[in-house]
Every structure is written in C-alpha cells, then in structure tokens.
Amino acid sequence: MPDEVRLQVPERILLGPGPSMVHPRVRHAMSQPVLGHLDPRFLEIMSEIQEHLRYVFQTQNKMTIPVSGTGSAAMECALCNFIEPGDSVVICVNGYFGTRMCDMAARYGATVRRLDKAWGDIFSFEEIEAELQKGPTKLVAIVHAETSTGALQPIEGLADIVHRYGALLVVDCVTSLGGVPVKVDEWDIDVAYSGTQKCLGAPPGLGPITVSERAIEVLRNRKTPVANWYLDLSSIEKYWGNTRTYHHTAPISMNYALYEALQMVREEGLEARFARHRRHAEMLWNGLEEMDLALHVPLSHRLPMLTTVRIPEGVTDMEVRSRLIKEYNIEIAGGFGELAGKIWRIGLMGYSSRAENVTLLLNALKEILGR
Ligand SMILES: Cc1ncc(COP(=O)(O)O)c(C=O)c1O
C-alpha cells in the first residue's frame, strides 16, 4: 500500500466562530503514535493536561478534566451531574447557547425558569437575583461569551448572589477560555466548561470542565443516579483521578492535541494571550468602522474573540461569504436564530488571532463590498 496520504484538504483561513486554525505544533502532536489509554506515558500526559487546564481555568479544583466530546458534551456534563428530576433551575438566555442549555436541562427532568434578554444584551445581577427570590433553585446557568451574538457577560460577583440562594453557578466558557480571563476560583464559579476548538487552539473534540468542592458535594448527595452514563463525573473521575480505572477509551490523539495547545498557552502566558486577542480585535473593529460597517454589540460588552457586524442594506449575506471562501480562502460565519441574515460573525480565536489574518479579511471585504 502506498505511504502517502490520499486525503486532500485545503488550508483555510478560519475566521468564523470556531473551529479556529490549528498551529502546526498541535497538528504534529496529534500525529504521534497512539498509546494505550492506560499506558504509563499516557497517564503522565493526562496529569499534565489536568495541570495545564487548572492554569487556564485559574483554579485549584481537583476535578478538572477534558470530557471526551465537544463543548456540547461538556455542557451536558455540567448539567446532568447536578440536576435531578423535579429540580428547579434558572437559565439565562441572551443567545442561541442559552436555549441549548434549557433544552438539555429539561431533558434531565428540571423545571426550567428561563430568563430572556435580547440577543446581544447582557444580564444585570439584579435581574438574576429577582428570579432567585421567586423560589428554591438548584443551579443558575449562564453563558460567559455568547458566540451567537458576540456579547461578553460579566461573571465576577455573580456567585455571591447565587450562593446566597443556595444554588450552584454553572458558566459556559466555550468561547471565552484562553481569550479573556476566566477566574474560576476568584469568581467562585462551581462548574465551568469549555471546548478545545476556539481560543485554546486545538481541533474540536474535547470539552474541558472544572468542578468546585461545593458542586462535588451536591453530586455526592444525589438521590438518583446521573441520567447519563457516559458523562457521569463520579465514574469519569475514577479514570482521571487516582485509581485510573477504565471508563471509556480516551480519545488519545485529541488529548495529544490538547496537551500541545495548552503547552503553547502556558508558553505565551495568559495575560499576553488575552492582550493579543484584544489587540487584533481592536484592529478589526477599527477597520470595519472605517468601512462604515456597524458593530452589533456596544464596546462595553463586546467580545474580543468574536465580532458581530451588521450586514449592510442591499448586501446578500451568502454571496459575500461564498466569495470569501472561493476567492480568498477565508471562512467567516453568518448569524442564526434572531440574527440570521442580519449579521456576520468574525472570529479571531487562538492561532487565528493574528494581524495578517485581520489585514487579509479587511482587504477582501473591501474588494467584495466595493464591487
Ligand atoms: C458558547 C458556546 N457554548 C457551547 C457550544 C457547543 O460547543 P460544540 O459545538 O463544540 O459542541 C458552542 C459552540 O460553538 C458555543 O459557542
């Protein structure tokens, strides 16, 4: 059989909401030989990944692991372990991913109290507290960086309120982790989860999650088994914890990728990485505004890693995006839900967040819109 790889894939400039581009170092790490999931070298790699994840989540939480599966698996894991049938939960919805959490929580038997805001707005802590005053609440779930709208929800200070009402705070950090500060311990978040394909700079496939002692206590005191076998943290922790008991076969190559991507985050340093995401976002915002394009989210709560820009009157969304791909090899995304056909979503995440990518995109858009 010939040695050369038959699969041919174009090298795209990925400036959508994820996946972001993957650095050659990470791609190279993925092509290392597959080890057994209990191989002594792989067990070392697992421990190092956990240490690296504690660094990016800024936590000492012992239960910090990459769930096998994408960000949605981590979302599901963050909900199914703490919800029992009949529990009342508050879910903040100001974009698409809040609605996904409502759907999941209801499937696990929760009574969902859904708090709604316009897509692009953020919640005030008073609004959340007013809902908590209405009755006992098991958990409050909220999205830190809403990828469907481009809005950054402030989290610092929210846990104090949530805990005063005896609830857990669950935060979706899929798009924020590695691009803006996520201070799990300082902000006293109980469950935070993410995905590998955004600001962490690995391919999609793992969902990092970190769980506080307070949340572990809730898990230990459940009256009913976790309704999802695969995502039951009390079983998964036996593999990622001290006993190293088989649960499922870990996706070995994906863990190599995550290892290398996190290693690169550490080499760059969190502060420098946040500054890089901010610098390139500002470069993009300035360029778009110079072209008289309007940004959907006000500067005060705009995400640096995902910019939403209003599609100008008379311009066809799909025509511009398909030209970007065909003529310039650049991927950006459209809006969905309430924002379908109204916005473009431009991601500058992880290895995609580079000055040359901003310049390329701005020039391409100028040429296309100028025509
Ligand atoms: C905020 C947010 N939460 C959850 C998800 C789901 O992650 P995945 O698509 O990796 O399953 C995404 C994906 O874009 C997201 O942006």
Take residue 277 and report the two structure tokens written for it.
Answer: 């995401």
Distances (CA, A) of 339 to 117, 342, 343, 346: 14, 5, 6, 14
Give the position, in ligand 1's atom list, of the atom nearest the Cα of 195: 10
Interhelix angle 270-290/355-370, rounded to 10 degrees, is: 20
Give the position, in ligand 1's atom list, of the atom nearest the Cα of 197: 10
Distance 347 CA to ligand 1 centre (A): 13
Written as one string, the DSSP assignment of 249-276 is ---HHHHHHHHHHHHHHHHH-HHHHHHH
Three-state secondary structure call for residue 295: strand
- Nearest-5° Cα angle at 9, 371 to 147: 65
| Segment 336-362, tens digit of pLDDT | 888 999 999 999 999 999 999 999 999
| Segment 31-71, tens digit of pLDDT | 999 999 999 999 999 999 999 999 999 999 999 999 999 99
Distance 195 CA to ligand 1 centre (A): 7
Partnered with residue 270 across adjacent β-strands are none
Please provide the average confidence, as pLDDT, over all residues in the chain.
97
Percentage, residues of the chain above pLDDT 70: 100
Give the single-character DSSP code of 302.
Answer: B
pLDDT grade for 280, boundaries at 50, 70 and 90: very high
371, pLDDT greater than 80: no
Residue nearest to atom 8 of ligand 1 (CA): 71
Q: What topology does CATH give the domain 270-370?
A: Aspartate Aminotransferase, domain 1 (3.90.1150)
pLDDT of res. 201: 98
| Segment 20-32, tens digit of pLDDT | 999 999 999 999 9
Give me the CATH code for the 24-266 domain, please: 3.40.640.10
Sheet containing 333-334: give its strands across. Answer: 306-310, 343-347, 333-334
Instruction: Report the alpha-carbon distance of residue 328 to residue 363 in Å, rounded.
Output: 10
pLDDT of res. 189: 99
Tell me which residues have their CB closer than 6 angstroms to ligand 1.
17-18, 70-72, 75, 97, 143, 147, 172, 174-175, 195, 204
95, pLDDT greater than 90: yes
| Segment 113-154, tens digit of pLDDT | 999 999 999 999 999 999 999 999 999 999 999 999 999 999
Q: How many CB atoms lie within 10 A of CB 32?
A: 13
Give the position, in ligand 1's atom list, of the atom nearest the Cα of 73: 11
Distance 194 CA to ligand 1 centre (A): 8
Mean pLDDT of 106-116: 98
pLDDT grade for 242, boundaries at 50, 70 and 90: confident
pLDDT of res. 258: 98
| Segment 166-222, tens digit of pLDDT | 999 999 999 999 999 999 999 999 999 999 999 999 999 999 999 999 999 999 999
> Could you tell me where the beta strands, DSSP code E, fall in the chain?
13-14, 63-68, 88-93, 111-116, 139-143, 145-146, 151-152, 168-172, 191-193, 206-211, 306-310, 330-331, 333-334, 343-347
Number of C-alpha atoms within 13 angstroms, CB side, residue 46? 27
Instruction: Please return the burial class of 124, using the count of CB atoms within 10 Å of its CB with bins 0-12, 13-18 and 19+.
Output: exposed
pLDDT of res. 186: 98
Partnered with residue 65 across adjacent β-strands are 209
| Segment 244-270, tens digit of pLDDT | 999 999 999 999 999 999 999 999 999
Helix and strand tally (H, E) in the chain? 12, 14
Residue nearest to atom 7 of ligand 1 (CA): 71
Instruction: Report the alpha-carbon distance of residue 324 to residue 263 in Å, rounded.
Output: 32
Domain ranges of the chain: 24-266, 270-370
Under 8 Å between Cβ of 194 and 78: no
pLDDT of res. 348: 98
